Structure 1
Amino acid sequence: MTFTQGFAQFVFYVFAVAAVASALMVVFTRKPVKGVLFLVLTFIAMAGIWIFLQAEFLALILVVVYVGAVMTLFLFVVMMLNTEIDRSKKMLVRYLPIGLVVMLVLLIMMIYVVGSGQFGLAHYAAPGQLPAHYSNVSALGTTLYADYVLPFVTAGVLLLVAMIAAIALAFRGAHNRKIERVPDQLRVKKADRLRVVKMKSEKGE
């Protein structure tokens, strides 16, 4: 093993340990804000692993979209929410058995899927060395818009329909809405808005 391969393997294990440790801290931390920050660290570590897998575009999308936008929104929401720690503890004790059962089922499924019987060089050939001018962005675009163009367009149409349906369901109409019409305000005259009323003065008794 050369020095470059050893260093790359060391950096990979650093990212892997950071991803697993930060993911565990997301689950076990008691502070919601710290949980969000640990989740950001998990995304950054996973982006580093994706770079090692030569998926630079997905790594950049993960950092820009999730860390830069989604997790920032989550952080603001968590900071503005008034979380009740005592109520959360009661709910945790109440739903702990169901959570343990679900966790056990997911763990068994992950072991079965990610186990050595499903992956490895015995089942899949080792990836070849890519040329220097290779771009996974171009390869991803070719795959989406050439090989899977129909499912990609179908997914886009479904998302558009869902967005229009959400807007239609949330729209309540023009009830009790006050609209300012600037041209009408500019054309208004004093006689239209002001009326002088003459009243007799009242005399005291």
Structure 2
Amino acid sequence: MTELVIFYSFALILVFAAFRVITAKNPVHAALYLVLSFFTGAVLWMLTKAEFLAVSLIVIYVGAVMVLFLFVVMMLDINFEELRKGFWRYLPVAGTVAVLMAYEMVMVLTHPSAQLRGAAVAEPAAGYNNAKVLGQLIYTQYFLPFQLAAVLLLVGMVAAIALTLRKRKNTKYINPADQIKVKRDERLTIVSVNAEARAVIEPPKPADGEQQA
């Protein structure tokens, strides 16, 4: 009964935080609500005995992705009012999709099947470690899909970097290959300069017809 109360409490918080992510006018507030939704989602993962996924959700998304997103939002001068102009235009379509998803979830939860009604998380055996089991599955049974997903992520990263390296006019940049080929004699020149004699300042000579004081 206690776990059920905790589940519905955090589920309501998660729904509220997700709703505020798309309705908050301030992008920083929307990002903070997204962080709250990640934390509540991690609690739900903990209730289902998936500790590794819960910790990964906090470390990866909250500790890295959302921090980077907050830095980008606060450092770049982005006109978010311009980006939100089409919000109300697509609201009917988004509302329809949301209603359909909610209907499907209600149908699943209220299904008369005995398996769904009596479904419960089995208690793990003594010494069970879900991180170890997950690692064994990834590197044995699902090794090929895992490597394919890694290659797709690598291709996406390379594509994102390539898009930012497009040549633009009036842009100064340095070619690392040219820097490596440079030799010392091409950049450093030692010049021997003769020492000059110290200049002697002589008093001005009086003009013709003037007497010296």
What TM-score, normalized to structure 2? 0.68
| Equivalent of residue 98 in structure 1, options 88, 93, 97 | 93
2-structure distance, mates of 1:169, 1:89: 25
Match of 2:131 among 137, 146, 159: 137
Q: CA deviation at 1:138?
A: 0.6
After the TM superposition, which parts of structure 1 deviate over 6 Å for at least 4 consecutive aligned residues? none
Say if 1:122 and 1:158 are closer, same or farther in 2 by CA, change over 3 A.
closer
% same residue: 39
What is the count of residue pairs matched by the alignment?
184
The residue aligned with 1:121 is 115
Match of 2:45? 50
> Using the alignment, how far apart are the partners of 1:189 and 1:120 within structure 2?
89
Please tell me whether residue 68 in structure 1 is matched to residue 63 in structure 2. yes
Q: Secondary structure at the match of 1:94?
A: coil
CA contact (8 A) 2:18 2:33 kept: yes
Alignment of 1:101-112 (within 5 A): 101-112=96-107
Deviates most, 15-24 or 122-131: 122-131
Q: 1:195 maps to which residue?
A: none
- Residue 75 of structure 1: how far off its partner (Å): 1.4
Alpha-carbon spacing, 1:56–1:148, altered in 2? closer, same or farther (3 Å):
same
Letter of the 2:88 counterpart: V
Give the Å deviation of 1:84: 4.1
Larger-gyration structure (1/2)? 2
Change (3 A) 1:144 1:165: same
**Structure 2 CA distance for aligned equivalents of residues 190 and 149 of structure 1:** 64
Distance 1:150 1:93, change over 3 A: closer
Q: Comparing both structures, which one devotes a greater share of its residues to helix?
A: 1
The two structures, once aligned, show a CA RMSD in angstroms of 3.3
Q: Secondary structure at the match of 1:91?
A: coil
Asked whether 1:156 is paired with 2:150, we answer yes
Q: Residue 15 of structure 2: which of 13, 17, 20 is its match? A: 20
Provide the secondary structure at the position in 2 that maps to 1:18.
helix
| 2: CA distance, partners of 1:123 / 1:145 | 34
Structure 1: distance between partners of 2:78 and 2:157 = 30
Taking a change above 3 Å as real, the CA distance of residues 37 and 176 of structure 1, as seen in their structure-2 partners, is: closer
Distance 1:139 1:73, change over 3 A: same
2:189 is aligned to: 188
Q: Which moved more, 1:62-71 or 1:84-93?
A: 84-93
After superposition, the C-alpha distances for 1:90-120 in whole angstroms (9 at most, x for unaligned) are 42233333333443444444445x4433976
Q: 1:97 to 1:161 in 2, by over 3 A?
A: closer
- Give the drift of 1:41: 0.6
